[in-house]
Amino acid sequence: MVEVEYAKALFELAEEQTKTDCMDQLSLIAQILDEEPEFTKLLKSPFLSVKEKTEMIKTVFPFLNPLLKEWMILLIKRDRMDLFCRIKDSYQQLYETSFKILKIKVVSPKILDERQQEQLKQRLKQKYPDRKLEIENTIDPSLLGGIQIFANDERLDCSLKNQLAKLKRIAIRKDE
């Protein structure tokens, strides 16, 4: 897949040049492109020249490290901006694998405080001792209590909503 090849090339260059900020900058670019669909359309437009698009990149993203700026310009020259998000996702997978990062999504009825997050992190560290854990806490009031944890392809549902649903299924079976 083309996006994987672009991601690998960028990742290898970033490693060679010890550019540690590429992942953060790619995420920021993706966020801006997502929030500004008109800007994204301009970067993909066949009616603007490569030079005009390059100037837009330099103007909108002056904070980019030189490697990433040149890489963005390369995408424009090769008419590959439509692949940007997929390339970024491939890069992120390479980055997380290389740096042993595990992103964990925790869903709870209210935001976890620092103490709760730290306790959760310590428990998860026992399961994933060789990984750097990054926990993202999202809110879902419908859970009523407890939490849901998503890591890799695993799902652990310790929510009150799930426990009540299990009790309901058991009660229905007994009534039959």
Phi, psi of 171 (to 5 degrees): -65, -40
Query: What average pLDDT does the segment 120-145 reach?
Result: 92
* Separation between Cα atoms, residue 120 and residue 38, nearest integer Å: 41
The CATH number that domain 2-96 falls under is 1.10.520.20
Positive or negative: CA dihedral 77, 80, 82, 85? negative
* Separation between Cα atoms, residue 92 and residue 69, nearest integer Å: 18
Phi, psi of 40 (to 5 degrees): -60, -45
> Would you list the domain boundaries of the chain?
2-96, 100-175
Q: Using N-to-C axis directions, what is the helix angle for 37-44 and 22-35, rounded to 10°?
A: 100
pTM for this prediction: 0.76
Structure tokens at 40: 């994204």
Q: Tens digits of per-residue pLDDT, 146-158?
A: 899 999 888 989 8
Q: Tens digits of per-residue pLDDT, 65-117?
A: 999 999 999 999 999 999 999 999 999 999 999 999 999 999 999 999 999 99
* Separation between Cα atoms, residue 30 and residue 7, nearest integer Å: 14
Q: Tens digits of per-residue pLDDT, 106-117?
A: 999 999 999 999
Structure tokens at 82: 């439509």
